[in-house]
Amino acid sequence: MTEQNHVNENTKNEALEPYRQDAGDKLTTNQGVKVNDTDNSLKAGTRGPSIRDDFHFQEKLTHFDRERIPERVVHARGSGAHGYFQPYQSMAEFTKAKFLKDPSIKTPVFVRFSTVGGSRGSADTVRDVRGFSVKFYTEDGNYDIVGNNIPVFFIQDAIKFPDIVHAIKPEPDHEMPQASTAHPSFWDFISLIPESTHMIMWLLSDRTLPRTLRMMQGFGVHTFRWVNAEGKSRFVKYHWKPLLGVHSNVFDEAQKLAGKDPDFHRRDLWDSIDMGDYPEYELGVQIIEEEDEHKFDFDILDATKLIPEELVPVRPIGKMVLNRNPDNFFAETEQVAFQPSNVVPGIDFSDDPLLQGRLFSYHDTQLHRLGSPNFVHLPINRPVCPFHNNQQDGRMQMEVKTTRVNYSPNSLGENLPAVSSAEEGGYVHYPERVEGHKVRERSPSFKEHFSQATLFWNSLSPIEKDHLVAAAHFELGKVGDQGVRDRMVDRFNHVDHELAKRIAQGIGVAAPSAITVQNHGQSSEALSQKNTTKTAKGRKVAILAANGVEAAQIMSIKQALKAAGVVAEVVSQFKGTIKSADGKEIEVDKTFLTGASVMFDAVYVPGGAKSIQALQMNGEAVDFIHEAFKHYKAIAASGEGVELLKAANLQGVSRLDSYVQDDQGIVTTRSADASEIAKSFINAIAQHRHWNRLVHKDKVLA
């Protein structure tokens, strides 16, 4: 062996030696400086704003922001749409933001919906938090509300953001699982961070399985400031409410959709806009006077808390309509750069430590991901109003500037561009008084972590509670470490004793014998999807048919559904056309292979003896009915179509031979006149699910 080969061999072995943690290792910065606190960012006082000389925070966040090339670290999987926002009335009493002053003005917007944990190639319908971000192209510049479909978050301080995302993401040794929190490292982290308890309740609920993006609520999460022309400040929280109501998939349905159509949410959003069935969302705000900042038994700057609507009602202030699909996914949906720091005069920030960190991190992320500080020149990010500054050069510089000066002040260029006074619309930060020692601490008002988790649990309907418990059984059932499962049961015992016992029963943990915290008994109606808007508008119905179907019955139901804003598609064995009993050609929209029941909100079976005979012999057609029933969807049949429902052997359902419209959402008639059941069928569709079905005799679980 030569000396050169000997050197290379030693070098190779050192490079391949795994990096291992030793028991005595201490956390340090990348410069080797030992760290005494990695849970709290440096602030001016315990409730004060974050401070820029926090080198550990900056290093931790800048490294995190650059961990993925080139897709987003989080929210990689997204869907976008253009539209407009229009206020209902002037909000000048509360804010000088111009786009909220004139009800006749429609402000252009671009919205991006996204999952959090998965990569760009992951499925739409996984259990996950969803991003809900809106860019307003106002006359005073771009304003971004960068939110989620959950009103709270896992952590209180942005310095923990890399930790929570690392825990959510696939485990680093084997890169599994994709787009799922059902794995040990996530629950290990959660079991050690009590502040996450409230968010975990939302994560395990039906809220993380939205039926469509058109039926998903949105929140700004943080507390912001509104400032009016007189300089008066108030705190504000944002709520986006879908006009179709807030509705979810059941878990079995979501899993099957991930296989049948991984793009289900993206496709639904695109198709709805393409058909002119525009998604609509109402923007509401909770406004808190400055003098009321400390009147609650929680801190309004704590991102793990919400403000119950019983304490501060949500005031509707305007409507957003999404009416145009992107022309190019990459140029728009992929390159759009949202930043909480994008504000306009009249809107400012609070000292929420999670928000304070995001103000830095999001801009830093865009610099890394889009490769240049000139990302604002991209059409999707460019303001609709003129913009002028001395920022020149850099990659992707698209402005051909002819001035000889690029500094301020200057005399050679007439001191242009000049700054604007407040009266001229110049942005002025609210002069909040700030004082305090530099400390790595949190305010004592951030210390309570369980009361709102209990509030959420108390607010759920019985079926929603069943789903949450089943979700915990699935998620924690994937965790092999007994200690993690034990800690999580103890955590749930701080929320509700019966909840902890029910979860323990399904994950191999001894049920807690003592009540850790007495349930306070409070609830909030707004937190349950049971109390949402119920309408058939925007739903999709499958019409099962084969050769020999009664065309008149199909046409009758289709007309009634169309009038109610419902889309109906014919599903049969093969693509192409089928012939009705009277010889008419009927277009087939989907086959049983391409149009599974999980893609539809309801099912209708028209009559026609030959059609029903063929469908009864087709196991896929019978399974289609059975699965829709299992997922609690509305089902209707007319004429001989009732026989297919009988063949599906729907458990617990009787009286199919006569007209039925009961709490099980089954609508039938032996008559050949399908119009007799149209109204009842539409009402059944509007209920979204019919939970009273006896799919499981002991308990209804999805």
- Catalytic residue (choose from 40, 82, 142, 148): 148
Within a 13 Å sphere around the CA of 672, how many CA atoms are in the beta-carbon half? 7
**Token pair recorded at residue 398:** 């698209």
Catalytic annotation on 429? Answer: no
Closest by Cα among 88, 673, 72 to 334: 72
Q: Write down the residue that tokens 């009277």 correspond to.
A: 582
d(CA 164, CA 155): 8
Task: Report yes or no: 589 and 569 within 8 Å, Cβ to Cβ.
Answer: yes
**Token pair recorded at residue 505:** 């029963």
d(CA 113, CA 116): 10
d(CA 570, CA 550): 13
Closest by Cα among 368, 20, 357 to 165: 357
d(CA 387, CA 210): 39
Task: Report yes or no: 511 and 499 within 8 Å, Cβ to Cβ.
Answer: no
Tell me the H-state helices in 289-352.
none
Closest by Cα among 306, 303, 125, 149 to 241: 149
Query: Which residues are within 8 A (CB) of 627 and not within 5 positions of it... i.e. 6 or more apart?
Result: 596, 597, 598
3-state secondary structure 295-310: CCCCCCCCCCCCCCCC
Rounded to 5 degrees, what angle do the CA atoms 538, 542, 548 make?
145
**Residue 651 phi, psi dihedral angles, 5° rounding:** -60, 130
Rounded to 5 degrees, what angle do the CA atoms 640, 645, 648 make?
135
Q: What is the DSSP string of 486-512?
A: HHHHHHHHTT-HHHHHHHHHHTT-PPP
Closest by Cα among 467, 463, 514, 522 to 490: 514
Query: Which residues are within 8 A (CB) of 431 and not within 5 positions of it... i.e. 6 or more apart?
Result: none
**Burial classification of residue 389, based on how many CB atoms lie within 10 Å of its CB (0-12 exposed, 13-18 middle, 19 or more buried):** exposed
Within a 13 Å sphere around the CA of 420, how many CA atoms are in the beta-carbon half? 12
d(CA 278, CA 270): 10
- Catalytic residue (choose from 75, 222, 688, 690): 75
Q: Write down the residue that tokens 């006149």 correspond to.
A: 673
Catalytic annotation on 75? Answer: yes
**Token pair recorded at residue 419:** 């700054």
Please state, in angstroms and as integers, the Cα–Cα distance from residue 479 to each residue in 174, 182, 188, 702, following that order: 16, 7, 9, 21
d(CA 279, CA 217): 12
Task: Report yes or no: 180 and 126 within 8 Å, Cβ to Cβ.
Answer: yes
Which of the residues are catalytic? 75, 148
